[in-house]
Amino acid sequence: GAVVSQHPSWVICKSGTSVKIECRSLDFQATTMFWYRQFPKQSLMLMATSNEGSKATYEQGVEKDKFLINHASLTLSTLTVTSAHPEDSSFYICSALRGNNNSPLHFGNGTRLTVT
Amino acid sequence: DAKTTQPNSMESNEEEPVHLPCNHSTISGTDYIHWYRQLPSQGPEYVIHGLTSNVNNRMASLAIAEDRKSSTLILHRATLRDAAVYYCILRAGGSQGNLIFGKGTKLSVKP
């Protein structure tokens, strides 16, 4: 089946630094990828939609200058958390759409970010 | 997106069938019913999806009510590895493809 690889699986960084998370579709091309965030004991919250070759579309309340998304190729999208603060500590999960918009989403295994 | 309602939690015994219900009374004609599950500390995993007819795959079966206002995910023989949070999600046909997650049902499986 389709595989989405997310890296790193966990990261600890100091407050004020930036962290980049990569999301790769390993065996298919993904025109569209999605980034989610999940706080402990809560459900996934959609942060943004990443389209290859164009600017990402952010959900209401998500700061685009803080969460930079780049989708430079059909197999790679990156999320950079800039000037991270402890409240940004969360589980970040990417997903990729294979096929048309009615197709299932394929998810990465998530990145646990801890900001100290 | 139309909303879904699921029980917060359910328990099952190992090797017994599990029926996970989902209500979606405001579903529209073009909404697909998707089910995903999430194991602890992992990303969600696709389980099954359907539009009107019942669906079967190697993981589960999806039974959709005739009026489409509810559906049931059926795990035919629960294993300990099936313990997860199960999400029932509606996705509009022709949408940009994103999924809006609710709270889901936390399934516990007892040995």
State the pLDDT at residue A65. Answer: 95
State the pLDDT at residue B1. Answer: 56
State the pLDDT at residue A113. Answer: 98
Q: What is the mean pLDDT of residues A4-18?
A: 97
Rounded to whole angstroms, how far apart are CA atoms B96 and B102? 18
State the pLDDT at residue A31. Answer: 85
Instruction: Please provide the DSSP assignment of A13-26 as one string.
Output: E-TT--EEEEEEES
First to last CA, chain A: 37
Number of Cα atoms under 13 Å in the Cβ half of residue A6: 26
State the pLDDT at residue A12. Answer: 98
Of the residues A44, A52, A97, A114, the best mutation for testing chain B's interface (the one with the most B CB atoms within 10 Å of its CB) is A44
Q: What is the pLDDT of residues A43-88, one digit of tens each?
A: 999 999 998 888 899 999 999 999 999 998 999 999 999 999 999 9
pLDDT per residue rounded down to tens, chain B (111 residues): 568 999 999 999 999 999 999 999 999 988 999 999 999 999 999 999 999 999 999 999 999 999 999 999 999 999 999 999 999 999 887 777 788 899 999 999 999
State the pLDDT at residue A16. Answer: 97
State the pLDDT at residue B97. Answer: 79
Nearest CA in chain B to A97: B97
Rounded to whole angstroms, how far apart are CA atoms B68 and B110? 31
Mind telling me how many Å the CA of B12 is from chain A's nearest CA?
A: 21
Residue A1 pLDDT grade (very low, low, confident, very high; cuts 50, 70, 90): low
> Which amino acid makes up residue A23?
C
H or E element that contains A6: strand A4-7
H or E element that contains B61: strand B61-64
Chain B residues within an 8 Å CB radius of A104: 34, 46, 49
Q: Are A102 and B42 inside 8 Å of each other by CB?
A: no
- Torsion sign across C-alpha atoms B90, B105, B110, A112: positive
Q: What is the pLDDT of residues A85-103, one digit of tens each?
A: 999 999 999 999 887 777 8
Rounded to whole angstroms, how far apart are CA atoms B86 and B19? 11
